[in-house]
Amino acid sequence: MNFELTEERRMLQDSLRRFLADKYTTQVRNQILDSTAGLSATIWSQMADLGVIGALLGEDKGGFGGTGFDITTVFEELGRAGVVEPFLDTAILGAGLIAELGTDDHAGILEDVMAGSVHLAFAHGEPTSRYDLNIVATTAQNRGDHYVLNGRKSVVVNAEAADHLVVSARTSGDVDDQNGILLFLVPSDADGLELNGYPLISGGRAAEIVMDGLVLPQDALLGSEGNGFDAIEKCVAMANVALIAEALGAMETAARLTLDYLGTRTQFGRPIGSFQVLAHRMADVFIELKQARSAVILAAGHLEADRVTRERHVSAAKHLMGRVGKLVAEESIQMHGGIAMTQEYELAHIAKRIVMIDHRFGDTDHHLERFIALGADQLAGRSGTAATTA
């Protein structure tokens, strides 16, 4: 089987890598991190012009990509350069959910997203939901010609910069039911919507959101009542594939920086990379990186599979990347010493990105448990089919 990128993806990868190497230096990133916006509008616009956002959406929605390998091609380069701009939140989650559930009336929003003129955010996680996508306590009351939303959302990344929020709410069922979850497209300046923003440790900004009597027209509903969970799970699977590709790119940068440092830092008259114990530790890092790349390829290749197969591969990859990411971040910092903790040095930011990726949409423990549970469901389904056939 050939795992080489297609010519189109190689061209996208090359152009994105050259652009980021030229424009996204450590100094530029630190300026972005220190800014109140948490992103660069100029770089966002330039990357949209390069077609980066369009590569993350399918051709039926006006893009020119949207497959698992398009996503990994883009996000590996974003991770390699330590980009903090919210491509995941606007293009994968926000635009992905609109593409999944929206109508022709939403085509203009997707066009504006690809042009770089509109930001989106996905408001789903809540103070008590942890990583479980089915836990939604926010309520949506159908009043005939409008809905009324009440509830709270936590760590909504890119909420302050977003022009629209994709908000989940419940019309029926218990707080942990998969059925009864709806998605709404909410203007960020809507009455009854309160945002309290803050910076994130790995770059970018997020907000806590309170909805108190938020009134929305009927056409704010995306899709139909009760079909929100399946779309959320599918788009979060895409987001996890994007995250593991970003982690892979970031880990390769961490490994490269560490290898360079071991070759230039001298002790006892020779480079410390010549010391056997450090050479063995570096070899372990590169072995784990090979395994991580295989996991990314496997997960990306199964994004279009049936639900259980897709989710098992995503959870397996997310679990492995969390474990490998911890190893690479810790080894890189330890082999560098104190310089690795200074913000002026590239590795400080890269290591934070690697570690925090593990905590978004499920850490290693969560995805290990989920992988086991999905396998049990799959086996139970096969047993039931065999019994029926017999």
**Do 143 and 218 sit in the same domain of this protein?**
yes
> Do 107 and 127 belong to one domain?
no
Burial (Cβ within 10 Å: 0-12, 13-18, ≥19) of residue 80: buried
Mean pLDDT value of segment 93-98: 96
The reply to whether 257 and 357 lie within a common domain is yes
Residue 385 located in a structural domain: no
Query: Does residue 25 lie within any of the structural domains?
Result: yes
Are 180 and 218 within one domain? yes
CA distance 113 to 102: 14
384 domain-assigned: no
pLDDT digits 0-9 by tens, 319-364: 999 999 999 999 999 999 888 888 888 899 999 999 999 999 999 9
- Residue 255 counted as domain residue: yes
On whether both 60 and 185 belong to a single domain, the answer is no
Express as a percent the part of the chain with pLDDT over 70: 96
Provide CB contacts within 8 A for 114, sequence distance 6+: 48, 53, 54, 57, 62, 63, 95
- First vs last Cα of the chain: how many Å apart? 37
Question: Based on the domain organization, do 165 and 102 belong to the same domain?
Answer: no
- With residue 386 as reference, give the H or E element that holds it: helix 364-389
> Buried b vs exposed e over 66-76: b needs ≥16 C-beta within 10 Å?
bbbbbbbbbbb
Task: Answer yes or no: is pLDDT of 378 > 80.
Answer: no
Structure pTM? 0.93
What are the residues facing 209 on neighbouring strands? Answer: 153, 195
| Enclosing domain of residue 218 | 121-226
Three-state DSSP at 147 gives strand
- The pLDDT assigned to 383 comes to 55
The residue type of 36 is: T
Whether 388 is in a domain gets the answer no
Total domains, the chain: 3
Residue 278 lies in a domain: yes
Q: Where are the alpha helices (DSSP H) in 41-153?
A: 41-49, 68-81, 87, 95-101, 107-115
Q: Which long-range contacts (CB under 8 A, 24 or more apart) does 383-388 make?
A: none
Residue 390 lies in a domain: no
Last residue within a domain, chosen from 73, 96, 118: 118
CA dist., res. 79 & res. 248, Å (int): 7
For residue 199, being part of any structural domain is answered with: yes
Q: Give the domain CATH number at 205.
A: 2.40.110.10
From CA 205, how far away is CA 169, in angstroms rounded? 23
Per DSSP bridges, beta strands 146-157 and 164-170 are: unpaired
